[in-house]
Structure 1
């Protein structure tokens, strides 16, 4: 393990991202940029090491590397191992003048990493000595003690020549040995013994960072802070502030505000007698961006605080407590309080349903169009897109409002299929758009294109933001845009993908049409024909089926399934014809429903032995998915089938489908 990966892993650990090994030279953790919100997340950050020793960071939520580094308080340069040459540099060169390595202590051989990663030391002094062999003489050292005053952790700081800092923790493990790692959780607060011995009536001042806390002590204040930086407050035990008045001093930047809010929430939850937040920048106009109480104490004019020139640090402390007395108590925003969220219906503004295709396809909702392969589903959605692009009335004569269309298509080539079909329908091609890929930064900061997946609903939203007049989003077929890690037969997993998409449709007022395939065997209800989980039809507010007419092979039936937002509409019929193929719609409605056709087809299944078609269908699809990556031993299949709730006899019959 080189210095760079150790530095990143320790920063992730300190921030509460909980990095875990997941293979040789690989780790995974929560992303510090978007997953430290207190909610449960599946870790989306992948950490690895490149051939040149560089740390490779990949957030599958799409966070750029720069944003991840910012969240850790680091720079992109920290991803490189100082002991290995970076691309473009000669071996043995660090890109700086000879004699300096950019870290305290110079650049001679004595400051190379001694290879002690993961090593246990009998004393804290020996662990600190190992770090100083690597980084040189430390600038600061702060000791964390337990309630009995015994040291359990040390935090060291080195000041870099470029003005940045290097922070490394050393902590005692469960066996009394010392390791170069973060304090055990829950972490003790800094200066805990002083806090426990103090009178309950004395206000406790909470700062961000040990240096600032020492400045508060110099001002005569009872003070504390938590280990690990601005993102790790929740990893400490805040119960010692119970029954005490607390004054929080946020740093003068966004990270400081977040830390201050986190501390206020934690102290309130721990039972503090009161919590107040004092923003020093409101009273010290000379406080720099990112500044704190330490900057005020070090300043010749107290950064503009209303104090006389001959004031002492103790006067700063007295002013601070007096100012805090006049502040209102901090109260948590009710919108962020834990617990049930109850809304009176009288407070909900009524909203009428808007329609893309009146009575058939609603705006702001998901509509499912399904059918067997080759029955004309994609042709139908392109016909819809062409009408929207030109404002041509719908086949039943209803008005079609003109707008733009966004299409995600995985099966038809844009140049040889999609464009020619749209041209044959006389579409306005300037109003129809394809979302073909999404561009994201990889671990080395380079932008690369990758396929669009609905897990990355932010990419779809970004595309819609560029098309303010978009009225229709088509996903064709839905199965091609759900990642391989999602089990499309599990209702909760499918809903985790479609739920955000439905919320996006509602929020932007756009109609979303999902195209799905029918399974091979029949079903008693048409909406059960769609492949995969029933969540596909469950999330949809309207469901339509494209079916071949059994009495006329050239004729297609467009028939309703579920209709949550309107009375059940009539079906329609069309044919695909012409030199430039297009849809020819019939003027007369079709009285049949999709369930009628499904019932007719299921008649042919009666009298057959074996499981009901629905069970066999699910078993067939489950088996196909299980064997997608190659054959398996029969015993393995039998065990998996048992876990999935299928009998071995059903699997045998599914094999023949």
Structure 2
């Protein structure tokens, strides 16, 4: 296997594309239907194995199909695995990897399913376990020849699925053409100054059937990036999303798909003017689209066309382009959607603004720097403030950390000492009773794995699960306790990239506790290169905070707002990186009280 082929096994999107080409339908996250049997309720999914490669598995007992991207490609194309795997720098007899796909008018990567289009569509329906409802032809506007066809298949339970067909020299093959895919109805939009963009060929045909130039990308929602939208450059583009209701997380698939298309259109040259047809203003049924609107209008085709043209005339222009991205940040801030959660320490919040949505913060310090106490105090404060939090403790069990939490709550470090509890049972029990409710509430947000060394892939999956539950602040203490992988640099990069994608989608913040690498005889202040782990940690984080424990408490000159004062400090915090604020390089004096286990902020160190 070539090095490029090995890398492809670690490419999540390559596996997703192979499965979708086989007919799998992804519902949410890594869950999908199995394309090799009728799968009303998706029973399959993809996961990241311990070595980091992505694999597919069907959980149905009568199926059980599993494998990596090459196994799936071999099964989809009806070839032996040895004919798929690229060797000695050359591809196998299978198709080129998805990431390197090139147009091939007569691909040879799969067995034909029919000599004629009629035979092939019947085979597609038989394989999918349904009935053909329609066949859509993606034609070249100049030659009229179809680059590929899409079969719309209706199943007995009322659900629908789609299967692509391409024509080769020896017949039709059940596979998608190389990407990018052409738009639907290119002939209708080629000579028009405007086009309506809908989701799905059925809605598109409803508009073109009444004289409205319209188009759609293949594959439906979530696959806008797989199509070539260049034919819309310089035109007026009217995006008409489906009226999908919100899912369990409040996301509306049709709306998000429309926004994905808008982002792609703004990158065309010349950029089109983009307008938005609001489906919520049309009194459509749930999941209603242009087809529903057109068929609701009484009268002939001209009456329907006039009704659609009225919508087009009322469509609101969308703010697109680079300036619109900045405007979006400003409007989110004004509306309170983009807010940095405050630390329990005011000056640290001011100098970092670390906890904006979608951010990663590193907290580093030598062993014994009391990082875990500070993180525990912060997560307790956020939970008390009503925020949804999740903290994964990779060292010691949950009861150990909750006992510390009890001591912090009660301001009594003695509660962590078994001798104190044995000598003062009434006091220990009373403290527990005072804080029982909060310990129950906070304890449900604390996870632990003291007897297992989890992998970075498992940590990424845990972050995803917590985001799905609505957590705003997520912590891992320490991330350096994760299992060391053979190619640790690549594993670190994969974890950080995936984690940033997950929290970015969810609007959460991720806090990672880490340790410094061994510096040997190195002298001078620590830097970003001294962080344990690969360079990905410092590169992909917005904020890096270094916590230093002083040998003993000392009197320091600090500034806290206006004026200066002398204060006792026994810890220093160095803001090593502050991408969201201007505090990089700031040094803060802190005081850890051994009697309460609480950390307080003294102020900015002046010397």
Question: Could you tell me how far apart the structure 2 residues matched to 1:359 and 1:281 are?
Answer: 43
Shift of 1:149: 0.6
What is aligned with 1:369? 365
Contact 1:437 1:451 in 2 (8 A): no
Question: Could you tell me how far apart the structure 2 residues matched to 1:350 and 1:250 are?
Answer: 29
- Superposed, 1:372-411 pairs within 5 Å as 408-411=392-395
What is aligned with 2:133? 139
Question: Could you tell me how far apart the structure 2 residues matched to 1:290 and 1:560 are?
Answer: 56
Helix, strand or coil: the match of 1:154? strand
Question: Could you tell me how far apart the structure 2 residues matched to 1:31 and 1:233 are?
Answer: 15
Helix, strand or coil: the match of 2:256? helix
- Superposed, 1:308-319 pairs within 5 Å as 311-319=299-307
Closer/same/farther in 2, CA of residues 327 and 342 from structure 1, 3 Å limit:
closer
Question: Could you tell me how far apart the structure 2 residues matched to 1:355 and 1:416 are?
Answer: 22
Which one of 255, 259, 262 corresponds to residue 261 of structure 1?
259
Contact 1:251 1:290 in 2 (8 A): yes
What is aligned with 1:436? 447
Question: Could you tell me how far apart the structure 2 residues matched to 1:252 and 1:270 are?
Answer: 30
- Superposed, 1:18-167 pairs within 5 Å as 18-19=17-18, 33=28, 55-58=43-46, 118-120=110-112, 122-134=115-127, 135=129, 137-147=131-141, 148-167=143-162
Q: TM-score scaled by structure 2? A: 0.53
Which one of 542, 547, 565 corresponds to residue 543 of structure 1?
547
Does 2:474 correspond to 1:479? no
Closer/same/farther in 2, CA of residues 85 and 223 from structure 1, 3 Å limit:
same
Which one of 293, 297, 309 corresponds to residue 321 of structure 1?
309
Shift of 1:180: 0.7
Question: Could you tell me how far apart the structure 2 residues matched to 1:179 and 1:560 are?
Answer: 66
Give ranges in structure 1 of 5+ residues lacking alignment.
Answer: 1-11, 22-26, 35-43, 62-77, 88-112, 344-348, 391-400, 439-449, 468-472, 549-556, 575-581, 586-657
Does 2:416 correspond to 1:423? yes
What is aligned with 1:282? 281
Closer/same/farther in 2, CA of residues 484 and 312 from structure 1, 3 Å limit:
same
- Superposed, 1:222-241 pairs within 5 Å as 222-241=213-232
Shift of 1:547: 7.2
Question: Could you tell me how far apart the structure 1 residues matched to 2:310 and 2:78 are?
Answer: 52
Question: Could you tell me how far apart the structure 2 residues matched to 1:278 and 1:194 are?
Answer: 20
What is aligned with 2:198? 207
Contact 1:516 1:530 in 2 (8 A): yes
Shift of 1:186: 2.1
Q: TM-score scaled by structure 1? A: 0.50
What is aligned with 2:182? 188
Contact 2:516 2:531 in 1 (8 A): yes
Closer/same/farther in 2, CA of residues 541 and 315 from structure 1, 3 Å limit:
same
Question: Could you tell me how far apart the structure 2 residues matched to 1:458 and 1:249 are?
Answer: 31
| Root mean square deviation, CA, Å | 6.3
Closer/same/farther in 2, CA of residues 326 and 57 from structure 1, 3 Å limit:
closer
Shift of 1:140: 1.4
Shift of 1:57: 1.0
| Larger Rg belongs to | 1
Closer/same/farther in 2, CA of residues 323 and 125 from structure 1, 3 Å limit:
closer
What is aligned with 1:599? none
- Give the length in aligned residue pairs: 446
Closer/same/farther in 2, CA of residues 16 and 315 from structure 1, 3 Å limit:
farther
Shift of 1:317: 0.8
Does 2:447 correspond to 1:453? no
Shift of 1:138: 1.8
Closer/same/farther in 2, CA of residues 338 and 289 from structure 1, 3 Å limit:
same
Helix, strand or coil: the match of 1:247? strand
Helix, strand or coil: the match of 2:515? strand
What is aligned with 1:524? 523
Contact 1:359 1:569 in 2 (8 A): no
Shift of 1:165: 1.4
Closer/same/farther in 2, CA of residues 183 and 501 from structure 1, 3 Å limit:
closer
Helix, strand or coil: the match of 1:319? helix
Which one of 283, 291, 294 corresponds to residue 294 of structure 1?
291
Closer/same/farther in 2, CA of residues 558 and 129 from structure 1, 3 Å limit:
same
Closer/same/farther in 2, CA of residues 545 and 85 from structure 1, 3 Å limit:
same
Question: Could you tell me how far apart the structure 1 residues matched to 2:222 and 2:326 are?
Answer: 20
Shift of 1:30: 12
Closer/same/farther in 2, CA of residues 531 and 172 from structure 1, 3 Å limit:
same
Question: Could you tell me how far apart the structure 2 residues matched to 1:277 and 1:465 are?
Answer: 32
Shift of 1:499: 8.2
Per-residue CA deviation, residues 75-114 of structure 1 (Å, 9 max, x unaligned), is xxx9787xx8599xxxxxxxxxxxxxxxxxxxxxxxxx99
Per-residue CA deviation, residues 114-168 of structure 1 (Å, 9 max, x unaligned), is 9899423554344223224444652212222123111221111222233211321
Closer/same/farther in 2, CA of residues 454 and 545 from structure 1, 3 Å limit:
farther
What is aligned with 2:241? 250
Shift of 1:316: 0.5
- Superposed, 1:324-363 pairs within 5 Å as 324-332=312-320, 337=325, 356=345
Shift of 1:170: 0.7
Closer/same/farther in 2, CA of residues 30 and 480 from structure 1, 3 Å limit:
farther
Contact 1:156 1:168 in 2 (8 A): yes
Contact 1:246 1:272 in 2 (8 A): no
Helix, strand or coil: the match of 2:459? coil
Give ranges in structure 2 of 5+ residues lacking alignment.
Answer: 1-11, 50-56, 65-75, 80-108, 245-251, 332-337, 355-360, 405-413, 422-427, 450-455, 553-568, 577-584, 599-607
Question: Could you tell me how far apart the structure 1 residues matched to 2:206 and 2:341 are?
Answer: 60
Contact 1:52 1:86 in 2 (8 A): no
Question: Could you tell me how far apart the structure 1 residues matched to 2:208 and 2:379 are?
Answer: 69
Contact 1:474 1:513 in 2 (8 A): yes
Question: Could you tell me how far apart the structure 2 residues matched to 1:60 and 1:466 are?
Answer: 24
What is aligned with 1:168? 163
> Which deviates more, 327-336 or 223-232?
327-336
Contact 1:156 1:167 in 2 (8 A): yes
